[in-house]
Structure 1
Amino acid sequence: MQEPFFEPWVGENYPSQAPKILVLGESHYGKPEWYTPAFTQYVVKDWALCQKGSSPFFTKIAKILLGKPYEWISLEEEHKLWNRVAFYNYVQQFVGDGPRMRPTPEMWAEAEEALDYVIAQLTPDIVIVTGKELGYHVGTFEKKYTGPAKFCYWTHPSARAFKKEDAVKAFDEAKNNYAK
């Protein structure tokens, strides 16, 4: 198994959670000087744990995982949530220097082994996959996967097609399958 370049964010309370949840994003973008194994930790700290409030991507995820998809949540609630989950981006290279850039076929292909490594290390019970194209690639991985984690597929929370009710339904189904 290949270790990832970008180390996953692992909330300080993640190991004691039941179920343990790994949120899987697609990719990072940024300037070459930002390219460091700790980049995912910076992203979560700057975008999910920011004192001004997190980005809509992180907030939508937090609301659904907290069971409050249509409610306002406090920064404290959001911070507690992100300290109970893990977050990892599938693609292990910057896809470019700004949003809306897409991974190359090579980037997608190279990422599967690192995901296998991260899942083996973190032993999540539920993996939330955020994005349709990411879901396609993770679905291919899941067909070969023999572990106990349940995969939960969402449209990307920043996409226009994202529907909270669909994400809630998928997450509820994953939790129910975990409980069995």
Structure 2
Amino acid sequence: MWNKVKVHPWVGKFYESTELLPNKTLVLGESNYATEENFDSNLVIACIKEHIGENSDDNFSRFATKIRRVILGRETKVSARNFWENAAFYNFIQYRVGELSKQRPTQKMWDDSAQAFEELINTIKPERILVLGQENWTNLLSHINHTKINDFMSKFIIGDNEVIAGFIVHPSAGGGYFTYKEYGPIAKHVVLGSKAFCVQM
């Protein structure tokens, strides 16, 4: 199925026909962190499976829980399994960056991952993309044909696909940069808002 994509996306079983979300939604993370022996094409899929199962990694589960809550609300009753079975997740960088998040991707990693992202969009055809992280967003805009909607949102034009995308501060950001109060409304607007409303905003 994949030619350029090296680390396969998680695609929930209800992604194509979701009734939980109003649009086919891709959550776009930035980088893959793992030991050399644990890094393979199924890394992202395994992380989500563990998160919605019983043997979850605490760090990833905290991160994934923040994503669900920033979109659906901090007090949401929607379970992790229900949310992720209705969404897709993918990390833009298609390489192992290191074992710790303080290690940063090189410019070559950004450049060499762009074609894989285009392949992903042309294959799973999301209608909305929530991008995690300012640096992720900035690098993405430098590689993807797009039309600016506002400071937080753009319309991506990839092949025959026109996709509404927007970003929030990365949920793992320290120092109090990520807050539900500030970024919850943006995430909800990107993922849950109507196409017309987003374009007019």
TM-score interval for Structure 1 and Structure 2 normalised by the shorter chain: 0.7 to 0.9
How many angstroms apart in 1 are the aligned matches of 2:65 and 2:53? 11
> Of the candidates 139, 158, 163, which is equivalent to residue 149 of structure 1?
163
Q: After TM superposition, which residue ranges in structure 1, 4 or more long, deviate above 4 angstroms?
A: none
Q: Could you tell me whether the CA contact under 8 Å between 2:11 and 2:87 is conserved in 1?
A: yes
> How many percent of aligned residue pairs carry the same amino acid?
27
TM-score of the superposed pair, with normalisation by structure 1: 0.87
Query: Higher strand fraction: Structure 1 or Structure 2?
Result: 2
Q: Of residues 165, 170, 178 in structure 1, which corresponds to 2:181?
A: 165
**Displacement of 1:73:** 4.2
In 2, Cα distance between equivalents of 1:173 and 1:62: 14
Which segments of 5 or more consecutive residues in structure 2 lack a partner in the other structure? 147-155
**Cα separation, 2, equivalents of 1:166 and 1:15:** 30
Alpha-carbon separation, structure 1, partners of 2:122 and 2:26: 12
SS in structure 2 of the partner of residue 22 of structure 1: strand
More helix by share: 1
Q: Residue deviations 1:99-154, cap 9 Å, x none? A: 31110111011111111111111111110100111011122234344232111101
Aligned match of 1:49 in 42, 49, 52? Answer: 52
**Bigger Cα displacement from structure 2, 156-165 vs 88-97:** 156-165
Query: Structure 1 residues 96, 128: closer, same or farther in 2, change over 3 A?
Result: same
Q: Which has the higher mean CA deviation after the structures are superposed, 50-59 or 29-38?
A: 50-59
Q: Which has the higher contact order (CA 8 A, sep 6+)?
A: 1
Deviations 1:149-169 (A, max 9, x none): 111101000113012133222
Cα separation, 2, equivalents of 1:171 and 1:44: 20
Q: What is the number of residues matched between the two proteins?
A: 175
Q: Cα RMSD between the aligned structures?
A: 2.1
**TM-score under structure 2 normalisation?**
0.78
Aligned to 1:6: 7
1:108 is matched with which residue: 85, 107, 110?
110
